[in-house]
Amino acid sequence: MLIISNVTRRYGDFVAVNNLSLTVPTGSIFGFLGPNGAGKTTTMKMVCGLIRPSSGQITVNGLDVVRDPLGVKRQIGYVPDRPHLYERLSAREYMYFIAGLYDIEATKGKARTDELLDLFGLARVRDHLVESFSHGMKQRLVMASVLLHEPKLMIVDEPMVGLDPQGARLLKDVLREETRERNLTVLLSTHTLDVADEVCDQVAVINHGHLVAQGSTAELRSQTGTEGKHLEEVFLQLTAEGQPQMELS
């Protein structure tokens, strides 16, 4: 679904992402981990077409993000770490607005809106202004809107920020269901390592723009000799200063 091939992104002399290569399989939840400043958000923005790679190639479902940016945007849904909403709209109006952006037929858009607002526990406040929502409710509304056009690839940057335990559980359940029922592919960046351990089929760890390890969490524990320990211990070992890149299986 997503292929990142030898991608580098420079800002002047600073290299934010350095010769990164990743393949994210269709229908999987793929964790993208790394310390602050490692290059995760830059990579995600390149996948979305918001930033152009300095070199290398990114394809989504066979479409090149540089050569066919609109085609890629039809295939993806993006949830940034700090999403912005039109707060003077109601939840329902906001969903209809997003449906219009994607040229979703009105009847289908209304039905899908009702389905998703109900799924994310927002049905009872569908006609309330977004400005009255808590942060967690806004986060759930963003997630609902991103799923509205049934994307093939969903890119999610720090989805659990501001969610209470019930909201976090709901989001994890929805991601699992969408990958299973709709063959959705998810690229998920999070500092909540327990979430990555619980829901991700594979994870990649980057540091200073470099890929340092990739595999299932069980494989990374085996490679680092941390079997039976929390993923935090694996992460700290892999991102320690001076840690050499591991052989990838």
Least confident segment among 32-41, 58-67, 98-107, 159-168? 159-168
Q: What pLDDT is recorded for position 165?
A: 84
Instruction: Indicate the residue type of 205.
Output: V
| DSSP annotation of 221 | H
**DSSP conformation letters of 198-211:** HH-SEEEEEETTEE
Of 77 and 242, more confident: 77
Ordered structural domains, the chain, with CATH: 2-238 (3.40.50.300)
pLDDT value for 159: 79
The pLDDT score that the predictor gives to residue 246 is: 47
DSSP 8-state class, residue 246:
P
| pLDDT in the model for residue 249 | 39
**Whole-model pTM above 0.85?**
yes
Q: Which residues contact 19 (CB under 8 A, 6 or more apart)?
A: 6, 7, 8, 56, 210
Q: Which of 178, 38, 55, 148 is nearest to 170 (CA)?
A: 178
**pLDDT band of 6, cuts 50, 70, 90:** very high
Judge contact between 229 and 196, C-beta under 8 A.
no
* Cα(216)–Cα(174) distance, integer angstroms: 21
> Which pLDDT tens digit goes with each residue over 102-158?
999 999 999 999 999 999 999 999 999 999 998 889 989 999 999 999 999 999 998
Strand 29-33 and strand 202-207: the pairing is: parallel
- Whether residue 245 is predicted with pLDDT greater than 80 in this model: the reply is no
